[in-house]
Amino acid sequence: MPESAPRRRPRLSDQETRRRMLDAALALVEQDGLTVGLDHISVEDVIQRAGVSRTAVYRRWPYKDLFHADLLRELARGAAPASAVDEEATRRLLGSVLDGRAAEPATPQGRHDLLTEMLRVSAADDFEAIHRSAGWRTYLALQATFLSLPDGELRADVGEALRLSESRFVDRVARGWELVATALGYRPRPEAGGGFPLIATLACASMRGLVLMALPDPELLTRRVPANPTGASTPADWSLIGLAAAGIGVTFLELDPGVTWDDERTAAVRALFAGP
């Protein structure tokens, strides 16, 4: 019997072609990370991965630069630097800190020691997760790529998308600080000049700076400093990002005099950090 004729690929609309191509390119970036620029993203490789017609692709994007411009917009809109940190894992980590300090929430010094230890362990854990995250490296590369774009519509689009992404990230970090601080009976110091959004902005800046420094110098990731930056009951070995977080905490937070601590509140805090 004669060989059957090859089945023709169903014709896709322009929007379907666009979506498949961008999704395939996003998957390549997620897999390999992004360098400064997109020259390493081959349109032909993306066509094969997307399973779309070459003719349709070049009808949609006559020039490679046009496809790369749309991909940059897509990457910037979807940029999510905070996704490197698993919120549930962080909650479990903080719960383990609380489990080892059963009696401490009952006293102001005990709660201060708890907050200190939570800052110390969670900052180091976040730093390690972010340092090894391809998504974070892509986000940092996007920032650098944005700086190289000439003035015009593409630069404006990418800049606005990155601004919104950064705002989402800072909001998420602010909620994390607020969750831990208020649970332990702390509030922003009124005279410090700002609340949790400002705290989060400074914490994010410290994290980003150390991540950038640690890319060529991984020793910064493992470096520990014997210290007691918050006046806790005992010193400990601190990561560099932990010291930065502690400095921010000491500057901006104080025990809330309006909080009454009792067994019911202690139980609520344990339930909060125990998770589902």
Distance, in Å, from the CA atom of 136 to the CA atom of 87, rounded to the nearest integer, reads 16
Estimate to the nearest angstrom the gap between the alpha carbon of 26 and the chain centroid: 18
Asked whether the beta carbons of 178 and 200 are under 8 A apart, the reply is no
Burial of 58 (0-12, 13-18, 19+ CB in 10 A): middle
Single-letter residue type at 136: W
| Tens-binned pLDDT, residue by residue, of the chain (276 aa) | 445 545 555 678 888 888 888 888 888 777 766 555 677 788 898 999 898 999 999 999 998 889 888 988 888 887 655 455 667 777 787 888 877 676 667 788 888 998 999 999 999 988 988 888 877 777 888 888 888 888 999 999 999 988 888 888 889 899 989 988 998 899 999 999 889 999 999 999 999 899 889 988 999 999 999 999 999 999 999 999 999 999 999 999 999 998 888 888 888 888 887 755
Distance, in Å, from the CA atom of 77 to the CA atom of 209, rounded to the nearest integer, reads 22
3-state secondary structure of 2: coil
pTM to 2 decimal places: 0.77
Burial of 267 (0-12, 13-18, 19+ CB in 10 A): exposed
Distance, in Å, from the CA atom of 181 to the CA atom of 179, rounded to the nearest integer, reads 6
